[in-house]
Amino acid sequence: MSEKGLTNISLKKINKSKVYQYIYRKKTTSKLQIVQELQMGLSTVSQNLNLLEQEGLIEKNGFFESTGGRKANALQIVSDFKISIGIGILKGMFHITAVDLYGNAFYTDTIPLPYSNTPDYYKQVTDAVKEFISSRQYDNDKVLGISIATQGITSPDHTTVLYGDIMNNAGMKLDDFSRYLPYPCYLEHDSKSAAFLELWNHPELDSAVIILLNRNLGGGIITNHQIHQGISMHSGTLEHICINPDGPLCYCGSRGCLETYCSANALEQAAGMPAKEFFPLLREKKSPQIIQIWKDFLNHLAFAMKNLNLVIDAPIILSGYLAPYFTEEDIEYLTEHLHTAAPFILDKTQILVGTNGQYTPAIGAALHYVEKFIQSI
């Protein structure tokens, strides 16, 4: 629709949105920069800045250096104007995280609680969320929503878990949580939430493959800047790629799935110790046994990455619990073994490493409502 066909109210909303979105993208800017970049009149920009400031959406925060005249105000969005909360549901625990409007996690917590499909379980999880909100004395309208990232493939309408062999949570419903919470709620597969966070952190990527190195392995595929869901919502479940038909038994019933070699659980089982103890010993380079366990892990991971890259020619992002433990030396090792008998080369710069660790799915889930809010202004 041309601007001539817009009502005055619609045009004002569009201009307000353009100004807010510009400030959001630039992080810090000035009134003159907005006028020049958006090619809007000074009075129009001034009116919208006043409106956004009155609504509490933006603020003045210092000044730019003078170029000869008066110093220009530095304009920013109020990043904590609203918050969003993410919950990461695992078999033996759950994570809570809260993020601001830039997706920065300013609160994270892990609470041990074995999953059970009971009202008491869902009430304990949601009570922990309400206790956090109460402890910060947030008004209800401060919270955009609560997003739940769970192990398990969700229905297309995100109301029910359809497949949940890890936790035996098939049939888990969004309503199991939302009935206890006075906020909008959303349910998502944890791997898809992780992929969303990595896409948020790498907006320049049009396509990518995410390998979620959590206690259980997971994955996600990004195409055309979107999370690929698939016909049955199981797109990206690379944990069940078979790399050895005679390998260990996987929880899915098959043998030799990547899950049995490259999940954090598989690594800890091979090492006989938690990851937080394994990696300090590995970096000391004193134990040949520890070094070999890690090499075996990387060899299997490289084998899978090589094959994934043949199917989807895109960067690969190592994400989740184990990702922060990776060093430059590990990426070099992966790159070298990726190219063994490979027809195509994946450049080392195309292997990216996530930084949010075990909280990746919960943070990614929280971003669902952040994105909706930013787009709504």
Domain end among 77, 102, 125:
77
CATH number assigned to the domain comprising residue 140: 3.30.420.40
CATH number assigned to the domain comprising residue 36: 1.10.10.10
The reply to whether 47 and 189 lie within a common domain is no
Per-residue b or e along 155-179, where b marks 16 or more CB atoms closer than 10 Å to that residue's CB: eeebebbbbbebbebeebebebbbe
pTM for the model: 0.94
CA distance 268 to 214: 11
Greatest CA separation for the chain: 75
Can you tell me which residue has the tokens 């396509």? 207
The reply to whether 230 and 284 lie within a common domain is yes
Range of the structural domain that residue 65 is part of: 3-77
What are the Cα distances from residue 281, in Å, to 182, 273, 291, 294? 47, 11, 9, 11
Q: What does each of the 377 residues of the chain score in pLDDT, given as a tens digit?
A: 444 556 777 888 999 999 999 999 999 999 999 999 999 999 999 999 999 999 999 999 888 876 667 788 999 999 999 999 999 999 999 999 999 999 999 999 999 999 999 999 999 999 999 999 999 999 999 999 999 999 999 999 999 999 999 999 999 999 999 999 999 999 999 999 999 999 999 999 999 999 999 999 999 999 999 999 999 999 999 999 999 999 999 999 999 999 999 999 999 999 999 999 999 999 999 999 999 999 999 999 999 999 999 999 999 999 999 999 999 999 999 999 998 878 898 999 999 999 999 999 999 999 999 999 999 99
The reply to whether 56 and 164 lie within a common domain is no
Residue 199 lies in a domain: no
Residue 281 lies in a domain: yes
The reply to whether 39 and 176 lie within a common domain is no
CA distance 238 to 191: 10
The reply to whether 21 and 88 lie within a common domain is no
The reply to whether 104 and 10 lie within a common domain is no
The reply to whether 7 and 69 lie within a common domain is yes
